[in-house]
Amino acid sequence: MGRRVAIVGAALSDCGRVDNKTAFQLHYQGCSRALADAGLTRDDVDGFASTNTGVMAPVELGEYLGLHPTWVDSTGVGGATWEFMAEHAVAAIAEGHAETILISYGSTTRADLKKGRRTANLNFGNRGPVQFDAPFGHTIISKYAMSTRRHMIEFGTTLEQLAEIAVAARFNAKDNPDAYYRDPITVDDVLSAPMMADPLTTRQCCIRSDGGGAVVLTSEERARDCAKAPVWVLGTGEATSHTTMSEWADFTESPCVHSGRLAFERAGLTPGDVDICQVYDAFTSMVLITLEGLGFCKTGEGGEFVADGKLRLGGALPTNTDGGGLSACHPGMRGMFLMVEAAKQLRGESGPRQVPDARIACVSGTGGWFSSAGTLILGTE
């Protein structure tokens, strides 16, 4: 790459139960707060990335926000979209195609469901290759349930080990005032909850919330003059896998195997250098398989790896320190929240849930049903 690139602004919109705002208003909140966090204004922005609001998302959102970018991105790969966009933004800034790029997300998924404006499951069945899965009735959760069961069969992963991931998320959420759920839970609570898709109970599935956020990336030269200490993007990687289940070669492997390898290689670091992880956790098994794919433990050893509480604050590898999608927020796609939480942790701004001396963060988003993965390695130096 040419110039070094940093995250200089990171903020959330209102999150949780937001019945009085549109998705556009949440975008505006997140972007305004992120720019203020960086000490910048919309006039400083020459690049903009977003999706999920319509066929011309960055155009209509740019108009709403009063932006006139000369670089845009509307990549759509599910929950990993924001990590993909970050990699594209880093490349653009490094090569001088843009100076300051704003990446935004906003969603009123919970409010829309409550008001009957959308259904709980996205309709992929009437177009493209996924139509050949549709007759079998696969929902997104059922695809993850099959992956979970396959991991249990092949490697002996237990329900108790999976449940610990949900318990750890709730443990971390207790000190996050913005988290949707903060009351502690136990492994028994997780396992005795209503079944959603065998073997996943409701407490092993992400919550439905509203919310959004934004991050601002800029060049090293500009970053030095911003309001907050820069969080450097040390390495990035992206990869895709499949949409139809029949084309997924290994139900226990995430494409983060490839995105993570690229990110760590480009950063010149290894999983052993990482202080905190922010990984996509729509389901408990997603965390386990992602940690294996990124190299924090060997394939098949994820259950034992997480069982001792190391994902909790105070543990050996604090993961999803805000409570994650399992307890904090999940408005449909969560990749943005991973970046915001990582930036705040590395800047030492997380209050009671702050991880002491956090210097290196691994952020990894997942889209679809392990269909895509984007990984970032972030650092304070």
| Per-residue confidence (pLDDT) for residue 126, from 0 to 100 | 60
Amino acid, single-letter form, for residue 9: G
* pLDDT score recorded for residue 7: 98
Give the separation between CA 348 and CA 357, rounded to whole angstroms.
8
The pLDDT value recorded for residue 250 is: 96
**pLDDT class of 150 with cuts at 50, 70, 90:** very high
Asked whether the predicted pLDDT for residue 138 surpasses 90, the reply is no
Question: Distance between alpha carbon 63 and the CA centroid of its chain, in Å?
Answer: 26
For the four alpha carbons of 289, 292, 293 and 299, in that order, the dihedral sign comes to negative
Beta bridge partners of 105: 213
Exposure letters 111-122 (e unless 16+ CB within 10 A, then b): bbeeeeeeeeee
Predicted confidence (pLDDT) at residue 265 exceeds the cutoff of 80: yes
- Do residues 238 and 84 make contact, with C-beta atoms less than 8 angstroms apart? yes
Burial class (CB in 10 A: 0-12, 13-18, 19+), 370: buried
pLDDT category of residue 251 using cuts at 50, 70 and 90:
very high
Q: Across residues 44-58, what is the average pLDDT?
A: 89
What pLDDT is attached to residue 139? 84
Which residues are CB-contacts of 135 (< 8 A; sequence separation ≥ 6)? none
Q: Mean pLDDT, to the nearest integer, of 364-372?
A: 96
Region 358-372: mean pLDDT is: 97
| pLDDT tens figures, 221-248 | 999 999 999 999 999 999 999 999 889 9
Q: Pairing mode, if any, of strands 360-367 and 372-379?
A: antiparallel
Count the Cβ atoms, other than its own, within 10 Å of residue 268.
Answer: 10
**352 in Cβ contact with 129 (< 8 Å):** no
Tokens of 365: 């988003």
Higher pLDDT, 193 or 117: 193
Q: What residues form DSSP beta bridges with 101?
A: 47, 217
The stretch 44-61 carries a mean pLDDT of 90
Q: Residue 247 pairs with which residues in a beta bridge?
A: none
pLDDT for 18: 86
Residue 372 has pLDDT above 90, yes or no: yes
User: Tell me, what's the pLDDT at 55?
Assistant: 77
Rg over CA atoms, the chain: 19
Q: What is the pLDDT of residue 188?
A: 98
**Inter-CA distances, 37 with 31, 42, 263, 264, Å:** 10, 12, 26, 28
* Confidence at 124, pLDDT banded by 50, 70, 90: low
CB 108 within 8 A of CB 26: yes
**Which band of pLDDT confidence, cut at 50, 70 and 90, is reported for residue 121?**
low
pLDDT > 70? residue 120: no
Of the ranges 48-62, 123-137, 192-206, 215-229, which one carries the lowest mean pLDDT score? Answer: 123-137
CA proximity to 337, closest of 228, 210, 213, 207:
213
Provide DSSP, 275-339.
SEEEE--SBHHHHHHHHHHHTSS-TT-HHHHHHTSTTSTTSSS-BSTT-HHHHT--SS--HHHHH
For the residues 115-131, what does the mean pLDDT come to? 65
Other C-beta atoms within 10 Å of 140: how many? 18
Q: Is the pLDDT of residue 123 over 60?
A: no
pLDDT at residue number 57: 87
Distances (CA, A) of 190 to 136, 170, 291, 299, 307: 28, 11, 21, 24, 14
With cut-offs at 50, 70 and 90, classify the pLDDT of residue 128. Answer: confident
Is pLDDT of 288 > 90? yes
**pLDDT class of 122 with cuts at 50, 70, 90:** low
Per-residue confidence band for 113, with pLDDT thresholds at 50, 70 and 90: confident
Reported confidence tier of residue 134, pLDDT bands at 50, 70, 90: confident
Average pLDDT of the segment spanning 61-85:
96
Q: What is the mean pLDDT of residues 327-337?
A: 94
pLDDT score at 182: 96
Structure confidence at residue 354 (pLDDT) = 97
More confident residue, 136 or 39: 39
Pick 249 or 114 by higher pLDDT.
249
Mean pLDDT of the chain: 94
Query: Rounded to whole angstroms, what are the CA distances from 68 to 55, 82, 172?
Result: 18, 20, 39
pTM over 0.85: yes
Tell whether the torsion through CA atoms of 345, 351, 353 and 358 is positive or negative: positive
| Residue 37 near residue 9 (C-beta atoms within 8 A) | yes
CB 376 within 8 A of CB 280: no
Q: How far apart are CA 347 and CA 379, in angstroms?
A: 10
Max Cα distance, the chain (Å): 56
The length of the chain, given as a count of residues: 381
330 touches 366 (CB < 8 A): no
Given a contact cutoff of 8 angstroms between Cβ atoms, the answer to whether 346 and 381 are in contact is no
- State phi, psi for 63 to the nearest 5 degrees: -60, -45
Peptide bond into 199 cis (omega under 30): yes
Residue 152: per-residue pLDDT? 98
